[in-house]
């Protein structure tokens, strides 16, 4: 739960805001019923240590003075403007002053929750914490075995001493992780996303399924039409990074907006393909698209089901891909089938098992901090009202 501080001389407006924030169960608040002078505000900020400030902007001049003092004392803390005005000139001045969100009555629960989700994401990006070892497994096309690679790599990582691993299956149309491990759970990654704003250790243990040192969030029942709001991913991923040494996400390859958001949070993206021309073609298309989003630098190509006497040479495949192949995994259908039927990892002493362990070792090596893609300024700014509610992403 976030710590919030309200600065609002208007008692009626402040009371309505406090009630609406309490209903979200996402933020606890204290309040100043006046505009403090600089020394008084500095003292209050030291005492309260707010993670977000809700500032009444009915007096634009006083509000701008408050904003300057807040930024001097607690640089980077998100400021949410509150007021009755919808004047475009006023809103522009607020935006230029550094306000990320603006709320006006009537305070609708859904709209305020979405604003707080964006604020939580901003806090996580500004004050990151937890592991930077976050990885995505992305298939070039359905059926190339990306989920198999993700699962066995994560199982291999979890076998390392004192290494906690999370594998989250975000393939809502064809999620296979739960099936491959023979897991029976009523909860899924969708439940985790929808309850990200109230996540704590007790709730987390109900949502995940432990498999040794590996924790799994399954995709749940078939739900291809479900859309995940990217704003909800930041608090979920923040909790996951704080709770695990390694975090991995298995993606559908459909390049949904939430998948792009997840990949922007990763250190590496493993683009999994097979030696067939259609798979190589689609892998090259995805790589070009990720390059256009400035994510291409973290992509590593994984060639799955490689054969000794395959039709295309390594050089021909890399030419079709437009990128080098970083990892090669041998084709061993029998072992994969046997492991799937047993709900366990392939034999570690086999060539296939050693290939997964090689990737796993690379995941636990020291990884440089990747500068996460910074959202555009306007992505943080929205107006809350019946006619000005932010569009769902």
CATH code for position 335: 3.40.50.300
392 is a domain residue: no
Joined tokens for residue 325 = 């192949």
Please indicate, yes or no, if residue 75 is contained in any of the structural domains.
yes
CA atoms within 13 A on the CB side of 377: 7
Asked if residue 287 is part of any domain, the answer here is yes
Do 27 and 170 belong together in one domain? no
Phi (first) and psi of residue 343, to 5 degrees: 70, 40
Q: Which of 197, 342, 188, 317 is nearest to 250 (CA)?
A: 188
As a whole number of angstroms, the distance between CA 156 and CA 360 comes to 6
Residue 166 shares a structural domain with residue 248: yes
Do 73 and 124 lie in one domain? The reply is yes
391 located within any domain: no
Give the strands of the sheet with 52-56, arranged side by side: 27-32, 2-7, 52-56, 79-82, 101-103, 383-384
Q: Is residue 369 part of a domain?
A: no
Crossing angle between the packed helical segments 109-126 and 11-24, to the nearest 10 degrees: 80
pLDDT value for 380: 36
For residue 381, what pLDDT is reported? 38
Q: Is residue 286 part of a domain?
A: yes
Residues 227 and 338 in one domain: yes
**Angle, to 10 degrees, between the axis of helix 351-364 and the axis of helix 333-342?**
70
Q: Are strands 134-139 and 79-82 parallel, antiparallel or unpaired?
A: unpaired
- Regarding whether 144 and 112 lie in a shared domain, the answer is no
User: Do the domain assignments include residue 250?
Assistant: yes
Q: Are 255 and 152 in contact (CB under 8 A)?
A: no
Cα distance between residue 4 and residue 78, in whole Å: 10
90 and 138, same domain (yes or no): no
Assess if residue 393 is contained within a domain.
Answer: no
**Cβ atoms of 270 and 300 closer than 8 Å:** yes
25: domain CATH number? 3.40.50.2300
Tell me: do 146 and 285 sit in the same domain. Answer: yes
Collapsing DSSP to helix, strand or coil, 18 comes out as helix
One digit per residue, pLDDT tens: the chain, 393 residues?
A: 788 999 999 999 999 999 999 998 888 898 999 999 988 888 888 777 788 999 999 888 888 888 988 888 888 889 999 998 888 888 888 888 888 799 999 999 999 999 998 888 787 776 666 898 999 999 999 999 999 999 999 999 999 988 999 999 999 989 999 999 999 899 999 999 988 877 888 899 999 999 989 999 999 887 777 778 777 787 788 889 989 999 999 999 999 999 998 999 899 999 999 999 999 999 999 999 999 999 999 999 999 999 988 889 999 999 999 999 999 999 998 999 888 888 788 888 899 999 999 999 999 875 544 554 443 333 333 333 333 333 333
DSSP letter string, 308-372: TT-SS-HHHHHHHHTS-EEEEEE--HHHHHHHHHHTSPPPTTSHHHHHHHHHHHHHHS--PPPPP
Pair (187, 236) in one structural domain? yes
Shared-domain flag, residues 143 and 124 = no
Q: What is the pTM of this model?
A: 0.68
Do residues 208 and 356 both lie within one domain?
Answer: yes
Please count the structural domains in the chain: 2
Instruction: Compute the distance between CA of residue 289 and CA of residue 177 in angstroms, rounded to an integer.
Output: 26
Q: Are 315 and 229 within one domain?
A: yes
Phi (first) and psi of residue 44, to 5 degrees: -65, -40
C-alpha–C-alpha distance, residues 215 and 212, integer Å: 8
Give yes or no: residues 228 and 85 share one domain.
no
CA nearest to 22, candidates 11, 36, 6, 8 = 6
Tell me how far apart the alpha carbons of residues 27 and 2 are, in angstroms, rounded to a whole number.
4
Q: CA-to-CA distance for 102 and 120, rounded, in angstroms? A: 15
Residue pair 85/57 in contact (Cβ under 8 Å)? The answer is yes
Which pLDDT value is given to residue 197?
74
Domain assignment of residue 173, given as a range? 134-364
Largest pairwise CA distance in the chain: 77
151/157 Cα distance (integer angstroms): 10
Distance CA 127, CA 121 (A): 10
Helices 60-73 and 38-48 meet at what angle, rounded to 10? 50
């Amino acid at each position: 739960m976030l710590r919030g501080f309200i600065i609002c001389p208007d008692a009626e407006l402040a009371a309505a805001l406090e009630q609406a924030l309490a209903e979200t169960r996402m933020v606890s608040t204290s309040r100043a019923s006046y505009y403090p002078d600089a020394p008084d505000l500095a003292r209050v900020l030291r005492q309260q240590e707010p993670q977000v400030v809700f500032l009444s902007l009915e007096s634009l001049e006083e509000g701008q003075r408050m904003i300057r003092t807040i930024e001097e004392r607690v640089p980077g803390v998100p400021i949410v403007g509150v007021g009755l005005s919808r004047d475009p000139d006023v809103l522009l001045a607020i935006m230029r002053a550094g306000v990320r969100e603006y709320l006006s009555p009537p305070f609708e629960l859904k709209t305020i929750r979405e604003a707080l989700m964006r604020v939580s994401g901003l806090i996580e990006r500004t004050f990151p914490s937890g592991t930077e070892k976050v990885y995505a497994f992305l298939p070039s096309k359905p059926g190339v075995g990306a989920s198999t690679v993700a699962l066995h790599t994560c199982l291999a990582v979890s076998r390392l001493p004192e290494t906690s691993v999370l594998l989250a299956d975000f393939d809502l149309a064809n999620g296979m992780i739960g099936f491959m491990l023979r897991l029976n759970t009523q909860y899924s990654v969708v439940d985790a996303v929808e309850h990200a704003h109230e996540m704590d250790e007790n709730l987390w243990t109900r949502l995940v399924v432990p498999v040794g040192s590996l924790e799994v969030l399954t995709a749940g029942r078939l739900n291809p039409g479900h859309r995940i709001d990217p704003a909800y991913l930041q608090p979920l991923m923040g909790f996951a990074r704080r709770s695990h040494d390694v975090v991995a996400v298995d993606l559908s390859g459909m390049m949904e907006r939430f998948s792009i958001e997840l990949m922007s949070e990763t250190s590496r993206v493993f683009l999994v393909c097979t030696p067939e021309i259609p798979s190589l073609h689609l892998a090259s298309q995805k790589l070009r698209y990720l390059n256009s989003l400035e994510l291409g630098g973290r992509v590593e190509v994984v060639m799955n089901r490689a054969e000794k006497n395959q039709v295309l040479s390594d050089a021909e495949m890399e030419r079709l891909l437009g990128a080098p192949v970083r990892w090669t995994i041998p084709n061993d259908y029998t072992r994969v089938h046997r492991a799937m039927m047993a709900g366990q990892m392939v034999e570690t002493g086999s060539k296939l098992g050693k290939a997964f362990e090689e990737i796993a070792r690379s995941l636990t090596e020291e990884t440089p901090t990747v500068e996460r893609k910074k959202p555009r300024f306007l992505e943080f700014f929205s107006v809350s009202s019946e006619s000005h509610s932010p569009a769902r992403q």
